[in-house]
């Protein structure tokens, strides 16, 4: 984790949105295994969030967050800051639904942008005043290959994830002089709740492009996130790191 030198490491924490399941859960576990404090969020699955907290032997706390609420990110981050500085933010929570663009309702489009892109925007906006004051911090946004490739049925999802890549570059430029790094990770296909409903043909298409037969695991995405948050990545900002078993090469 990117450590702020004049604050005890034991007080510093990383906020991982959507840390109750899938990739987010792996990120929480990777950070806690390395001895970092983590605040993870869940929206509906408090049982899974509690299970992750238990596994993390006192280093993780679980918090409800629905990114559909405009005020919730600031309320949560203000509350967390009273308990210890939030020096890292992982904008991981996200949703996906498939429909051909011509059949996509306004409601569905708006929801995709609101949760996946505007939610991350509001989390960044809420944490930045604290990070700027301390002149340090690191943010990682979880995007998707859909941001770069035309996958039928994914217009809203792809637009939200492409927006995250653009926001990452702008924020890196705005915040570099203030000691804050901002990067993205672009995972390939990972078996999680989000992808469980994909038809076999869609999985086959997504996996066909991979160079590595084992594909992409949530743990390998988590390791990349942990690296980008850490001081080992101190010269890296505005970057998008593919963790996709070579699918995009
Ligand atoms: N899996 C893949 O192949 C893949 C590939 C590329 C990118 N990604 C991205 O990786 C991220 C994690 O995906 P995943 O596959 O791990 O999905 P997942 O297993 O479905 O987990 C999604 C997480 O986001 C939370 N969440 C969902 N809607 C939310 C909302 N409205 N407000 C707050 N939290 C919400 C969920 O909380 P609850 O469970 O409590 O509802 C859960 O913790 C997403 O941004 C996704 O787009 C995934």
Question: What does the pLDDT look like over 62-106, one tens digit per residue?
Answer: 999 999 999 999 999 999 999 999 999 999 999 999 999 999 999
> Whole-model pTM?
0.97
CB-defined site of ligand 1, < 6 Å: 17-18, 20-24, 42-45, 65-68, 92-96, 115, 142, 144, 187, 189-190, 192-195
pLDDT of residue 238 exceeding 70:
yes
- Separation of 224 CA from ligand 1 center, angstroms? 17
234 domain-assigned? yes
Residue 3 has pLDDT above 80, yes or no: no
For residue 33, being part of any structural domain is answered with: yes
| Domain containing residue 185: CATH number | 3.40.50.720
Which whole number is the average pLDDT over 12-27? Answer: 98
**Exposure string (b/e) for 37-76, b if CB count within 10 Å is 16 or more?**
bbbbbbbeeeebbeebbeebeebbbbbebebeeeebbbeb
Q: Considering the domain boundaries, does residue 4 fall inside one? A: no
Residue 181 domain-assigned (yes or no): yes
Asked about 42 being catalytic, the answer comes back as no
Q: CA-CA distance, 38 to 228, in Å (whole number)? A: 16
Q: 188-202, pLDDT tens digit by residue?
A: 999 999 999 888 887
Atom of ligand 1 nearest to the CA of 187: 6
Nearest CA to ligand 1 atom 42: 18
Kindly state whether residue 145 falls inside one of the protein's structural domains: yes
What total of structural domains would you count in the chain? 1
pLDDT for residue 4: 63
Distance 91 CA to ligand 1 centre (A): 10
Confidence of residue 1 (pLDDT cuts 50, 70, 90): low
Structure tokens at 235: 């010269």
Residue 102 lies in a domain: yes
What per-residue confidence (pLDDT) applies to 205? Answer: 82
In a domain, 204, yes or no: yes
Q: Give the whole-angstrom CA distance, residue 36 versus residue 30.
A: 9
Specify the pLDDT at position 243: 98
Domain annotation covers residue 1: no
pLDDT of res. 5: 65
Q: What pLDDT does residue 202 have?
A: 76
- pLDDT the model gives residue 91: 99
Residue from 68, 98, 192, 206 whose mutation best tests the ligand 1 pocket (most atoms within 8 A of CB)? 192
What tokens were used for 48?
């899974």
* Cα-to-centroid distance, 198 and ligand 1 (Å): 14
% helix, strand, coil for the chain, step of 5: 45, 15, 35
Lowest pLDDT segment from 38-52, 168-182, 194-208: 194-208
Would the pLDDT of 142 be above 90? yes
225 vs 5, which has greater pLDDT? 225
pLDDT score of 180 more than 60? yes
User: Which structural domain, as residue segments, surrounds residue 103?
Assistant: 9-242
185 has pLDDT over 70: yes
Which residues are 139's β-sheet partners?
Answer: 89, 182
Q: Which atom of ligand 1 is nearest to the CA of 188?
A: 5
* 47-57 confidence digits (pLDDT tens): 999 999 999 99
The residue annotated as part of the active site, out of 13, 117, 127, 157, is 157
Write down the pLDDT at residue 151: 87
């Amino acid at each position: 984790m990117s450590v702020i030198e004049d604050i005890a490491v034991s007080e510093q924490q990383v906020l991982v949105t959507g840390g109750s399941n899938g990739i987010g859960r792996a990120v929480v576990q990777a950070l806690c295994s390395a001895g970092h404090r983590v605040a993870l969020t869940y929206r509906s699955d408090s049982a899974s969030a509690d299970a992750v907290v238990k596994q993390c032997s006192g280093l993780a706390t679980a918090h409800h967050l629905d990114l559909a609420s405009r005020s919730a990110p600031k309320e949560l981050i203000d509350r967390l800051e009273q308990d210890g500085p939030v020096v890292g933010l992982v904008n991981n929570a996200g949703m996906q639904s498939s429909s051909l663009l011509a059949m996509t309702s306004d409601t569905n489009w708006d929801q995709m942008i609101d949760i996946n892109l505007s939610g991350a925007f509001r989390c960044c906006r809420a944490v930045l005043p604290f990070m700027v004051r301390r002149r340090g911090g690191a943010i990682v946004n979880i995007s998707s290959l859909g941001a770069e490739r035309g996958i039928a049925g994914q217009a809203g999802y792809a637009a939200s994830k492409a927006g995250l890549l653009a926001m990452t570059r702008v924020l890196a430029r705005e915040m570099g002089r203030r000691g804050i790094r901002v990067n993205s990770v672009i995972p390939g296909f990972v078996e999680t709740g989000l992808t469980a409903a994909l038809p076999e043909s869609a999985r086959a298409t997504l996996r066909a492009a991979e160079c590595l037969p084992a594909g992409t695991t949530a743990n390998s995405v988590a390791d990349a996130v942990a690296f980008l948050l850490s001081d080992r990545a101190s010269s890296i900002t505005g970057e998008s790191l593919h963790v996709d078993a070579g699918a995009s090469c």
